Structure 1
């Protein structure tokens, strides 16, 4: 362990991992056109810009209202009369710039809250059941780190489905050519078929 890492507090460590996952999620929009960042790639409509919009929205709530620090911004897709899943996709009236501006505001607000509070600072999550709505900053940071990582993983897969781009800027995948990846995938496909033959469907 380096000297820098050994002096890092638990809050700083959680915040560093949180920011890293946050950066990796939004980076999945890079280099794509309007259609590709918006088009649904799963049966439940998962799409890149929608993931960014959703995470920015919940981030604003958990690090805002929960600790009595609401941001001065309107979030119409969370209104009582908003349609189902309105936070999970962007309408044609919601530009990339609008969503990314909201993302930056949300990230800045979260970072400010994390900066001024201690891990044991208390808060209340208004949308959680009463028996567990009393929380601490540490609990919320852990909850949101899991949320961020989960959706960053969704974004990884969606981006790969769009243009084959995979992994993150840290180079977390083996350095293989397209032909090598194709051969690897074929090997997995053959192994799956052989396993089906041996063990049958369940």
Structure 2
């Protein structure tokens, strides 16, 4: 059946992208994984924290399955926007990784338990009534987007690029070729 094929395919892609995200933090110090890398404070460990909360929220409360660890509410008076995108020094990397893995396991239970057309409700969306399919696509997109951010941040930190076997010299030649094409087009 195409529905089960789509559900399995999307779920497998989400699992792969989750692993890809976590791999970007391997071998880095506590400071480096928390360090703000953009003017808005984007940092590697904050991306993991954010996605953990997203997994728990979209595959929990959206499908009327309360997340056992609890989640901050967007509507709480003390909630500050972007608090879920950074990690205070009182939380360890192990805490964040463990939280992410628990949230993903909880999400996996929801995905495995429900049919792809199971109804959900996202009160903060303009069209709040969704199906599990929509949540899967949303989380795959969100995780892929932030894994891409992590790719770029990691490359900026130490040049580590996943999926290729090029040397630093080969990358320099490639970059020079790209720069020349940009200059040629800009004239």
TM-score range, shorter chain: over 0.9
The alignment yields a C-alpha RMSD, in angstroms, of 1.7
- C-alpha spacing 1:186/1:83, structure 2 compared with 1 (3 Å): same
- Aligned pair count reads 184
**Which residue is 1:144 aligned to?**
139
Q: Which moved more, 1:24-33 or 1:110-119?
A: 24-33
Provide Cα deviations, 1:101-146, integer angstroms capped at 9, x if missing partner.
Answer: 11011000000000100001111112223xx101100111011111
**Which residue is 2:160 aligned to?**
165
1:124 to 121, 125, 129: 121
**Which residue is 2:172 aligned to?**
182
Structure 1: gaps of 5 or more residues: 1-5
3-state DSSP of counterpart to 1:9:
helix
Q: Is the 8 A contact 2:57 2:71 kept in 1?
A: no
Provide Cα deviations, 1:52-85, integer angstroms capped at 9, x if missing partner.
Answer: 0001111110000010111111334854413221
**Which residue is 2:66 aligned to?**
70
Structure 2: gaps of 5 or more residues: none
Displaced runs of 4 or more, over 4 A: 76-79
1:30 to 5, 26, 32: 26
How many angstroms does 1:177 deviate by? 1.4
3-state DSSP of counterpart to 1:123:
strand
1:12 to 3, 8, 16: 8
Alpha-carbon distance in 1 for matches of 2:73, 2:28: 24
In our comparison, the structure showing a higher alpha carbon Rg is 1
After TM superposition, the score normalised by the length of structure 1 is: 0.86
Q: Is the 8 A contact 1:62 1:140 kept in 2?
A: yes
Alpha-carbon distance in 2 for matches of 1:148, 1:80: 28
Q: Is the 8 A contact 1:29 1:48 kept in 2?
A: yes
